[in-house]
Amino acid sequence: MYKFFYILLLIVLFTSCDYFKTNSSQVPVARVNKSYLYQEDIKALISENTSKEDSALIVNSYINRWATQQLLLDQAKINLSEEQQRTYERLIQEYKNGLYTEAYKNKIVSRQLDTTVSQIELESYYELNKENFKLNDELLKIRYIHMPTDYNEVAVTKQKFNRFNEEDQKDLEAQTFKFTSYNFNDSIWVKKENLLKVMPVLSTKKEVLLNKSNNLQLQDSLGLYLLAVEDVLKTNDIAPLPFVKPTVQQIILNKRKLELVKKLEKDITKDAIKNNTFEIY
């Protein structure tokens, strides 16, 4: 990142003088040595809705920044050796070339890339690379209800929550406005760290074991909690495919992009040789 901004600064410094060469058809508003800033260059700074006072502040601020940059540039050219300047010019050219070529490759790849990833492809890649998907945190399939301290239907809610048949689910869904928070979708995996954020009571009660098929009831000053753990995966277990599916999809797409880029580079060179626009002497 620092290298990016460093090279970008060099581009600005070593091209600004050329950009602001005097031009008799334009009206200058400022000059630093042989570099000029024109009315055309500051026109876009001001909109029709900008007041005269704000316009003056904006323009003056821009002119001062420009002047400072030009003065620094002039001093840089005086104080930097010719060898250093040649090195910077080479870096600038390399960076410029990289910007152009990457932009072109990205444009071509975006046109040709097939972004559809089939379930078969997902499963195949996942099975071949399972060891790369070990968990850094526990995963749980869990449902829970956090009831406020003044909740007065604990017994019947607990019965429905533990039994959790189709009718119970509908009844509980109809009562969700009474709960502080809840989750009834126990078919998806969630990180334990995310669960702790919505249920901090689990952090304070270290003795609580979130094991598979556990039904728990906890309480603190914020209310009563009901938890039902359907399944658990521990740290260093292999993450299930549904959980890492977005990552696997992106890996597959990145591989396709690389293949397209390689093909593009190979084809463009092959065509240049064929058309006699590229020769090695």
Residue-wise pLDDT for 26-80, tens only, equals 899 999 999 999 998 888 888 888 888 888 899 999 999 999 999 999 999 999 9
Over range 113-137, report the average pLDDT. 95
> How buried is residue 4: exposed, middle or buried, by Cβ count under 10 Å (0-12/13-18/19+)?
exposed
Angle at 16 between CA 12 and CA 19, to 5 degrees: 135
pLDDT value, residue 11 = 45
pLDDT value, residue 202 = 84
pLDDT value, residue 198 = 85
Which pLDDT band holds residue 23 (cuts at 50, 70, 90)?
low
Which pLDDT band holds residue 140 (cuts at 50, 70, 90)?
very high
Q: What percent of the chain has a predicted confidence (pLDDT) above 70?
A: 90
pLDDT of 152 above 60? yes
Name the helix (H) or strand (E) containing 181. Answer: strand 181-183
Residue-wise pLDDT for 231-277, tens only, equals 999 999 999 999 999 999 999 999 999 999 999 999 999 999 999 99
pLDDT of 6 above 90? no
Over range 124-148, report the average pLDDT. 95
For helices 82-112 and 241-274, give the axis angle rounded to 10 degrees.
Answer: 110
**With contact defined as beta carbons under 8 Å apart, do 30 and 66 qualify?**
yes
Residue-wise pLDDT for 69-112, tens only, equals 999 999 999 999 999 999 999 999 999 999 999 999 999 999 99
For the domain covering 135-233, report its CATH number.
Answer: 3.10.50
Name, in order, each residue with C-beta under 8 angstroms of 68's C-beta and a sequence gap of 6 or more.
none
Over range 121-128, report the average pLDDT. 97
164: left (phi over 0), alpha (psi -120 to 50) or beta: left
pLDDT of 154 above 90? yes
Residue-wise pLDDT for 196-240, tens only, equals 888 888 887 765 678 887 888 998 899 999 999 999 999 999 999
Rounded Cα distance between 238 and 15, Å, is 53
Over range 17-21, report the average pLDDT. 46
**With contact defined as beta carbons under 8 Å apart, do 237 and 243 qualify?**
no
- Please report, in angstroms and rounded to a whole number, the separation of the first and last CA atoms in the chain: 38
